[in-house]
Amino acid sequence: MTIPSSRLGKVLALGFALGAHSALALVLVPQTETRMEGRSGAAEAAIGSSFAEMAAGRINAESVEDVVEPEEPVEPVRPDMPEPIETVAPDPAEALAPVPEPEVAEQPEPETVTAEPEPEPEPKPEPKPVTRGNSDRNARVGQAAGSERAQAASSGRGGASAESGNAESSNYPGLVMRALSRVPKPRIRARGATVVAFRVATDGRLASASVARSSGSTALDRAALRIVERAAPFPAPPRGAQRSFSIRIEGR
């Protein structure tokens, strides 16, 4: 081990100082003491050194080893590590329970109301117009009756007045049928025919009217009576003319 120069100088200085003090001690010791030691005869100088030896520097001082204490290793400074944070597991019992979704009330389906179609109005049966054939037949019937009456009346009268009365009486049924034909016919959808019998008063008013034969349809029967009622008043019948008539009205 290499000793530094400062420490070596100190050791040498210490050795020289010890040698100087030893030489001074030997010089100051009285001779009487040396003699007493010589009388013993067996004592030898135990010091084992003389002034000359000490002056020569033979005293070998024990080598003083400079014990260098090993330096304690410096522990590296470790940075303070942050303490790990413990993760606290949530308590399963305290876990939030899932919030149930609110139940949505089922909305009732709207009911569909089907409107019933309105019933179609029942069409009214239209009365058939008075046929010309019936009028002619009735006119012929009345004419025949009038002719018979005219012949009976003409037996007591003169030939000229008889012919004049027969002409007026024979033409009156035609006037009645003409008045009936001028009335507008109602439109009634019905099958069959209604026969209406009526009588004309002396002044031309309607004396009476009734259904002589029904068609089976009430609407058609009523329509036939209204036709006769609307046709009145008729022309005043001449003396001896026919005043009772019947008319046949057919449904369309």
Residue 104: per-residue pLDDT: 56
> What is the rounded average pLDDT of the residues 77-84?
63
CB 139 within 8 A of CB 146: no
What are the Cα distances from residue 218, in Å, to 137, 185, 242, 251? Answer: 26, 16, 29, 11
Residue 136: per-residue pLDDT: 54
Residue 147, domain CATH:
3.30.1150
Residue 160, domain member (yes or no): yes
Q: What is the pLDDT of residues 182-201, one digit of tens each?
A: 998 878 888 889 999 999 99
Residue 20, domain member (yes or no): yes
Residue 167, domain member (yes or no): yes
Contacts of residue 177, Cβ cutoff 8 Å, sequence gap at least 6: 130, 135, 138, 139, 247
- pLDDT tops 90 at residue 202: yes
Residue 114, domain member (yes or no): no
Whether omega before 121 lies within 30 degrees of 0, making that bond cis, reads: no
**Longest distance between any two alpha carbons in the chain, whole Å:** 251
Same domain, 139 and 42: no
Same domain, 139 and 225: yes
Residue 167: per-residue pLDDT: 85
Q: What is the pLDDT of residues 18-44, one digit of tens each?
A: 765 554 444 444 544 444 444 444 444
Same domain, 51 and 136: no
**What would the DSSP string read from start to end of 153-183?**
HHTSS-HHHHHHHHHHHHHHHHHHHHHHHTS
Which of 34, 56, 78 is the endpoint of a domain? 56
- pLDDT tops 60 at residue 4: no
Q: What is the pLDDT of residues 56-68, one digit of tens each?
A: 444 444 444 555 5
Identify the residue whose tokens are 């303490």: 83
Residue 159, domain member (yes or no): yes
Residue 138, domain member (yes or no): yes
Domain region containing 205: 132-250
As a whole number of angstroms, the distance between CA 180 and CA 183 comes to 6
Residue 245, domain member (yes or no): yes
Q: What is the pLDDT of residues 231-243, one digit of tens each?
A: 999 999 999 999 9
Q: What is the pLDDT of residues 203-225, one digit of tens each?
A: 999 999 999 999 999 999 999 99
Number of domains, the chain: 2
**In this structure, which amino acid lies at residue 158?**
G
Residue 184, domain member (yes or no): yes
